[in-house]
Homo-oligomer: A and B are copies of this chain.
Amino acid sequence: MIVYALTQGKKRYVQLKQEIVGVSPKMLIQNLRNLERYGLVEREVYLSVPPRVEYSLTPLGASLMEPLAILGEWAYRHITDVKTAMEHYDRNPETSDYWQPK
């Protein structure tokens, strides 16, 4: 989701926090740090008051955009299928023929 949000260009910490709804500061930072570590995201600090930090995709990160978009498209189109599959899933030997089909 971070990579996806950054496809639109540089974003500040607060912007990311607002766009990725429900994310805690901890998780956002944690994942930003990981993406940075992997060389997918770049962090730019501006020494000012108040502080400003901008995140952006590296070339490597940008190269991930398309594969990610394709996977995201799949997820978007099939999420309901997965949900209904999970609702109907039954592995209880008492109520399903999972273990001992007759």
Contact = CB atoms under 8 A, between A and B. Distances in A.
A74 B78 contact: no
Contact of A74 (B37, B45, B63): B63
Given A38-B85, A86-B37, A101-B47, A67 B60 contact: no
A21 interface: no
Contact-residue bracket for chain A: 20 to 34
Contacts of A60: 78, 81-82, 85
Interface in A54-92: 60, 63-64, 66-68, 70-71, 73-74, 78, 81-82, 84-86, 89, 91
A46 to B, nearest CB: 9
B45 A81 contact: no
A75 to B, nearest CB: 8
B86 A38 contact: yes
Contacts of A70: 66-67, 70-71
